[in-house]
Structure 1
């Protein structure tokens, strides 16, 4: 078949990828950029220590709770329209946050950022899923997307450090505005969403309510456990409520005519393996971001800018792993042969970080550990992103994409709470057992902190190894069929039926 007959042959798609990637970078870096600015913003706005966490939590709850709804809206409205609305809303919410004159205005802005981020993120990924159907081109597109999805958080640390140190914290919000405007204008001009990819079925209101409340309760439960403990009454109540609500959601989805999340999206073995392994891997990644940031700033006394740049090796590794290793091998080997080894290489990098002490050399241990982490995660994320939408009817691409974001968001909440709790417990135990013979209390505090970090990182190593095992055992699809993409792309339904060898390659 001539190349011009392949839906993926429109060069406008590659221009569209630039703006989709720009929007994804904005959403991902926003998750970490505000963390750097939080101490000065708290002081300027008079936010109490007890409410400080809500600057982070308000965003996490809105974003995590509404992702499935946002994915379904993109299927219903069309991905391009949802994408542009999400960008416009995110820019407006960022302007509100930058102009905040008090606690209420700041928390409201963060919640709104989460709401529009939940529209934007699934729309961006599902646009790639329905626009890039040729296997080789899909590999390149998702390689770029995977590098941004994996490394954007570290970029946020660098940018946040610069803006906070040389301008002020308000610019960590204002910086989103030019990103959003450029991406929205570009998307309006160049994105051409394929016809027939929308799902005009009526909206599943009970599913929206149950999934949103269930996910909010789950994310809040883990967030609260971090500072109030796992046995706290409200924490336990949130977990119970989440289990009940999500169980009711699954029962509802099995019965309604037009479900918010068709269960076929979850029950396909390969996608289930992606969602589970990716969510677990993100838990492990938070071991790096959370503890290494504290280690560099408190123990090594790095400035915010220096701390951000200290994460550069991981960003480089992510880019190389995703755009070079993953992209070049994805059309040659089955996805699990990239994902499982990728997670194991990342686990090796994490294993090196268990050797941290107060005198650890950055060049001798931290830098090579980050390179391994970046290479492994970049190599694994790239085929995972593709596989998450593998074989999905184009009309379900939005909710399938939302499930990837949801698994990452929940994984991040679990990682922060679980690993922080483990670290705090290990630190307390270390200090109490070494207090008697300590000559320098401050040194003992630092030693206890580093001991806590390394103890928690051991758990992150185990979680990454588990991710590799799940990827290897659950994901059974073969390498993409290079000749089938053009054939498949001509079908009205898009990707075939469950159980077929389908092509719009995998790649989430």
Structure 2
């Protein structure tokens, strides 16, 4: 059947406004996933934080974002993606203000937990809005543009954060979200159409929520994360560490069992995993984003505390990644549409791993042009080859009506990768206490961590080469008889 006239085209003003709202909102979340890394030495000194405190500053955000992003996607599918998206923007902004006002590490960590929960509401909605609102002919191009521009926020975070930290204070990296949120709300109210999965509301009922599933997922991540973060100080045989690890594992098993029993009412319909491609791509996502999360956690601290650069120079050092993502992601999205995702998802991680191995050797007094830029550029090229093809392939591997859940799970997979890397790498490389302030100790930990990250990328490349294939082409979905451009089941 033909598309309704309400299906957005990218060249229209409503199409550009919808894309802008999605990019700015997801950019807030992605920026806060990286910008805090540059601030770690400064907020650590200001709040007298240990390595564990720095880890929880990152992981408190990632934990709730990863745990509840599935629920955020499901709520959007059921009650309206635009409505839940706006709620997430407001929640995220309020939590950002609390982060900026924090006077103690525990206050900051608690606010980061809240900030991640707000991000879980808006992140899947930003992508699901594009998938549901745009004409099928424009979806791949739109998702490519979203991936590139949102990826820019991830890379731009260290640069913006560095300038704000040096010029004002680390607190302003959180206050920056306020004007961005105002623009998002105005653009959403003006241009973004509402969409939902009508099948979800009709079959599951409007009052059914998989709260138990969301809580079990959060408990699983929290238990494992606590065990990894506290093990260096308490010891692997500590009763608290063992109990947390066991609680996390038991909660994870219970989560899988519950989701299988709930069937259509589950937060995460396990039928999605009948698609082998969907399963493989999400495992690939965990590996690649674990490497990215570990790298960004260590590089910002290392460049300031060992190489001796300012926060601004540290941000500038990573700027080439921004430019490469901006220019290259739409191109790689179009390329993967023509040739399939296997080649980009194989070559990209290998190039990124090479870049990390080059950056592993830098030391005090390193030359940016000869020692830092080549590694950053090669890593950026590799990342550019991955981001857009991965996002488009994950969505193409499932039915359109599960766009919110699929994008939510893929976002969860990426956050879980970063969460586990930040929790585990300091343990694996022996960084504890205030070791991040000791150049010799930090140097050894940094080099060991980047070696681990490179290994994760190589593993991802092998998986892509052996198991990833082109998603099957499906005909455009039939449309329901109402004015909103949402898809019905095939």
TM-score normalised per structure 2: 0.87
Partner of 1:302: 309
Tell me how far apart the structure 2 counterparts of residues 180 and 461 of structure 1 sit (CA, whole Å): 36
Partner of 1:431: none
What secondary structure, in the 3-state scheme, does the structure 2 residue paired with 1:332 have?
Answer: helix
Q: 1:315 aligns with which of 322, 331, 339?
A: 322
Partner of 2:446: 453
How far 1:66 sits from its partner (Å)?
Answer: 1.8
How far 1:81 sits from its partner (Å)?
Answer: 0.4
1:467 has 2:460 as partner: yes
Partner of 2:240: 234
Partner of 1:506: none
1:476 has 2:482 as partner: no
Residues 152 and 219 of structure 1: is their aligned pair in 2 closer, same or farther, counting only changes over 3 Å? farther
How far 1:302 sits from its partner (Å)?
Answer: 0.4
1:24-39 aligned at under 5 Å gives the runs: 24-38=26-40
Tell me how far apart the structure 2 counterparts of residues 456 and 44 of structure 1 sit (CA, whole Å): 26
Tell me how far apart the structure 2 counterparts of residues 226 and 395 of structure 1 sit (CA, whole Å): 45
Asked if structure 2 preserves the Cα contact closer than 8 Å seen for 1:208 and 1:260, the reply is yes
Asked if structure 1 preserves the Cα contact closer than 8 Å seen for 2:479 and 2:487, the reply is yes
Partner of 1:347: 353
Asked if structure 2 preserves the Cα contact closer than 8 Å seen for 1:23 and 1:87, the reply is yes
Asked if structure 1 preserves the Cα contact closer than 8 Å seen for 2:401 and 2:489, the reply is no
Q: 1:489 aligns with which of 466, 477, 489?
A: 477
Partner of 1:224: 230
The CA deviation string for residues 127-178 of structure 1, in whole angstroms up to 9 with x for no partner, is 222224525x223222232234444333221112111211223322211011
1:75 has 2:81 as partner: no
What secondary structure, in the 3-state scheme, does the structure 2 residue paired with 1:24 have?
Answer: helix
How far 1:462 sits from its partner (Å)?
Answer: 1.6
Tell me how far apart the structure 2 counterparts of residues 468 and 101 of structure 1 sit (CA, whole Å): 43
How far 1:111 sits from its partner (Å)?
Answer: 2.3
1:288 has 2:284 as partner: no
Residues 47 and 351 of structure 1: is their aligned pair in 2 closer, same or farther, counting only changes over 3 Å? closer
1:107-506 aligned at under 5 Å gives the runs: 107-132=109-134, 134-135=136-137, 137-194=138-195, 196=197, 199-200=200-201, 201=204, 202-225=208-231, 228=234, 230-257=236-263, 258-324=265-331, 326-358=332-364, 360-424=366-430, 446=439, 449-478=442-471, 481=473, 487-490=475-478, 494=487
What secondary structure, in the 3-state scheme, does the structure 2 residue paired with 1:164 have?
Answer: helix
What secondary structure, in the 3-state scheme, does the structure 2 residue paired with 1:356 have?
Answer: coil
Aligned residues: 473
How far 1:229 sits from its partner (Å)?
Answer: 5.2
Residues 279 and 148 of structure 1: is their aligned pair in 2 closer, same or farther, counting only changes over 3 Å? farther
Residues 394 and 14 of structure 1: is their aligned pair in 2 closer, same or farther, counting only changes over 3 Å? same
Residues 386 and 119 of structure 1: is their aligned pair in 2 closer, same or farther, counting only changes over 3 Å? same
Residues 489 and 194 of structure 1: is their aligned pair in 2 closer, same or farther, counting only changes over 3 Å? farther
Tell me how far apart the structure 1 counterparts of residues 48 and 362 of structure 2 sit (CA, whole Å): 36
Residues 360 and 229 of structure 1: is their aligned pair in 2 closer, same or farther, counting only changes over 3 Å? farther
Asked if structure 1 preserves the Cα contact closer than 8 Å seen for 2:209 and 2:267, the reply is yes
Asked if structure 2 preserves the Cα contact closer than 8 Å seen for 1:392 and 1:495, the reply is no
1:5-84 aligned at under 5 Å gives the runs: 7-9=7-9, 11=12, 12-38=14-40, 40-41=42-43, 53-84=55-86
Once structures 1 and 2 are overlaid, which stretch shifts more, 77-86 or 169-178? 169-178
How far 1:48 sits from its partner (Å)?
Answer: 7.9
Partner of 2:483: none
Question: Aligned-residue CA RMSD in angstroms?
Answer: 3.0
Tell me how far apart the structure 2 counterparts of residues 53 and 287 of structure 1 sit (CA, whole Å): 11
Residues 87 and 226 of structure 1: is their aligned pair in 2 closer, same or farther, counting only changes over 3 Å? farther
Asked if structure 2 preserves the Cα contact closer than 8 Å seen for 1:265 and 1:271, the reply is yes
Asked if structure 2 preserves the Cα contact closer than 8 Å seen for 1:91 and 1:177, the reply is yes
Asked if structure 2 preserves the Cα contact closer than 8 Å seen for 1:129 and 1:386, the reply is no
Asked if structure 2 preserves the Cα contact closer than 8 Å seen for 1:338 and 1:379, the reply is yes
Asked if structure 1 preserves the Cα contact closer than 8 Å seen for 2:308 and 2:365, the reply is no
Tell me how far apart the structure 1 counterparts of residues 46 and 360 of structure 2 sit (CA, whole Å): 37
Tell me how far apart the structure 1 counterparts of residues 411 and 227 of structure 2 sit (CA, whole Å): 18
Tell me how far apart the structure 2 counterparts of residues 273 and 70 of structure 1 sit (CA, whole Å): 23
Residues 229 and 121 of structure 1: is their aligned pair in 2 closer, same or farther, counting only changes over 3 Å? farther
How far 1:388 sits from its partner (Å)?
Answer: 1.7
Residues 339 and 29 of structure 1: is their aligned pair in 2 closer, same or farther, counting only changes over 3 Å? same
Tell me how far apart the structure 1 counterparts of residues 76 and 4 of structure 2 sit (CA, whole Å): 28
The CA deviation string for residues 163-202 of structure 1, in whole angstroms up to 9 with x for no partner, is 1211223322211011111111111211113465562222
Residues 197 and 401 of structure 1: is their aligned pair in 2 closer, same or farther, counting only changes over 3 Å? farther
How far 1:406 sits from its partner (Å)?
Answer: 1.2
How far 1:51 sits from its partner (Å)?
Answer: 5.0
Tell me how far apart the structure 1 counterparts of residues 217 and 52 of structure 2 sit (CA, whole Å): 28
Asked if structure 1 preserves the Cα contact closer than 8 Å seen for 2:29 and 2:123, the reply is yes
TM-score normalised per structure 1: 0.84
Point out where structure 2 has 5 or more consecutive residues left out of the alignment. 481-485
Asked if structure 2 preserves the Cα contact closer than 8 Å seen for 1:19 and 1:186, the reply is yes
